[in-house]
Structure 1
Amino acid sequence: MPDLDMDALGEVEVKYRLLDPDEEALAEALAARGVVLGDRFRQDDQAYAPASWSYGMPKLGVAFARLRSEAGRVLLTVKVPRANELDCAEQETFVEDRATMHEALLLLDMVPTVRIAKFRRTGAWGKAQLCLDVVDGLGIFIELERVVPRSAAEQVQAEMDQQVRSLGLPLQRVTQTYDSLLRAAARPAEDGLLVGDPYI
């Protein structure tokens, strides 16, 4: 069972969909609050889940993995949701070979679920890391992230929620991860885990 000690550090997020698809208006509103966004870059992610798990089952306490290609490097991330999907114990490391790591995950009884492809810009807003994402098949999103003890996760998520709402833009808060949102948008007829073409 993963260590979910109340003092253990983890990543907490808040995520919002921009209802008016005007990325520059969002960037301007952030700039007015002192947020400097970096250049746009591409991320290609493949999400993995335990073979015994399927969409619709609880995620809390379950380990999920992701392989991400970005700027010629491959990042392996493992997350275990704690209080909710956007409050996770997390470990990550760079790997040399994506295809070999994919095979290793299969040996660990993980299966590929959803591919997430997006353009991302990042910046700092107060204590939070900010991500402005344009996600293929979903639209424009803003995320705030912080690494905090589990005991502070709920309070920090509430603080970041107020921070984003202060922008005064037409935003819809979402409480699911991108893979869950893409899975819901696709609504495949079959009940299996695999959605679309896995990106290896």
Structure 2
Amino acid sequence: MREIEVKYAVPDREALLLALKSRGVALSEPVRQDDQAYAPAGWTPGDGKRGVPFVRLRTVEGRHTFTLKRPDLNEQSCTERETVVEDRDQMHEAIMLMGYAPTVRVAKHRRIGVLDGAELCVDDLEGVGTFLELERIVSEEADEASVQTELAAVVAGLGIACERTTETYDALVRRG
């Protein structure tokens, strides 16, 4: 499977929430996500990401997941694999033994909903700001650019002030 998304910085969180409510989007209660990102040893933030597998350990309400993402067309179109892990510390050690190094810790409060068949996330990224993500899980054969264009049109239809970004949360936090 592949995850294809678009991401927007949102200067007015309340305007976003009102626009979503007017479209009938029901958002979940916020949950805090604590992510530790890892990159292959030797990779630096200035290096390209396309085709490079990155991993993450996420904890949400005591539940830990391990995720591998490999950017395909761009950083917001990735081959993705994910599984639950029982012991975060042991998984951290395993990731290190696989030749990865920790890069950045990302903390956010996330609310999830559905809009026009896409998963929608309203993220309050600690120390950075509010973001809107729309994503679809698609087959390996799906046209990435077309899916991102469709998702961008859904966001444009909300009629709110926002700015599209192609940066990952890791990069945004690193920039601080």
TM-score, normalization by structure 1: 0.85
Match of 1:197 in 2: none
Q: Tell me the CA shift for residue 169 of structure 1.
A: 1.2
- Aligned-partner SS, 2:143: helix
CA distance in 2, matches of 1:128, 1:42: 21
Deviation at 1:25, TM superposition (A): 2.3
C-alpha separation in 2, matches of 1:74 and 1:31: 31
Mapped partners of 1:121, 1:107: distance in 2: 34
Please name the residue that 1:190 is paired with.
Answer: none
**Does residue 99 of structure 2 align to residue 142 of structure 1?**
no
2:51 is matched by which residue type in structure 1? G
Offset of residue 110 of structure 1: 0.3
| Aligned residues of 2:31 and 2:109 also touching (Cα < 8 A) | yes
**Which amino acid in structure 2 is aligned with residue 84 of structure 1?**
N
1:12 counterpart residue number: 4
CA distance in 1, matches of 2:14, 2:27: 11
Equivalent residue, structure 2, for 1:25: 15
Pairs within 5 Å for 1:95-134: 95-134=85-124
Q: How many residues align?
A: 175
The equivalent of 1:82 in structure 2 is 72
1:149 & 1:84 partners in 2: Cα distance? 16
The aligned counterpart of 2:83 is: 93
**Unpaired runs of at least 5, structure 2:** none
Deviation at 1:133, TM superposition (A): 0.4
Secondary structure of 2:108's match? strand
Counterpart in 2 of 1:184? Answer: 175
Q: CA deviation at 1:19?
A: 2.0
Query: What's the secondary structure of 1:66's corresponding residue?
Result: strand
Residue 35 of structure 1 corresponds to: 25
Deviation at 1:149, TM superposition (A): 2.9
Q: Secondary structure at the match of 1:42?
A: strand
1:163 to 2:163 alignment: no
Post-superposition offset of 1:98:
0.3
Q: Partner residue of 2:145?
A: 154
SS in 2 for 1:183: helix
SS of aligned partner of 1:83: coil
The letter for the 1-side match of 2:60 is E
What TM-score, normalized to structure 2?
0.96
SS in 2 for 1:84: coil
Q: Which residue of 2 aligns with 1:5?
A: none
CA deviations 1:18-72 (Å, max 9, x no partner) are 123xx23211101111211011111100000000211010000000000000011
Residue identity opposite 1:72 in structure 2: G
